[in-house]
Amino acid sequence: MTRQIEIVGKSGNRYRYTSLEEDRILPPAGANYIIAKPGSQGVDILYVGETDSLARTVWRDQLARAKDVYGSEVDVLTRLNVRSAVRHAEREDLIEEYQPPMNAQAHS
Q: What is the pLDDT of residues 44-68, one digit of tens each?
A: 999 999 999 988 888 889 999 999 9
Task: Name the phi and psi angles at 31, rounded to 5.
Answer: -160, 155
Q: What is the pLDDT of residues 67-100, one digit of tens each?
A: 999 999 999 999 998 899 999 999 999 999 999 9
Q: Is 97 helix (H, G, I), strand (E, B) or coil?
A: helix
* CA–CA distance, 72 with 87 (Å, rounded to integer): 27
Q: Where are the domains of the chain?
A: 4-106
Q: Model's pTM, two decimal places?
A: 0.90
* CA–CA distance, 77 with 52 (Å, rounded to integer): 16
Exposure on the CB side of residue 85, measured as CA atoms within 13 A: 0
Q: What is the pLDDT of residues 17-37, one digit of tens each?
A: 999 876 677 888 999 999 999
Angle ∠(73,106,68) on CA atoms, nearest 5: 30
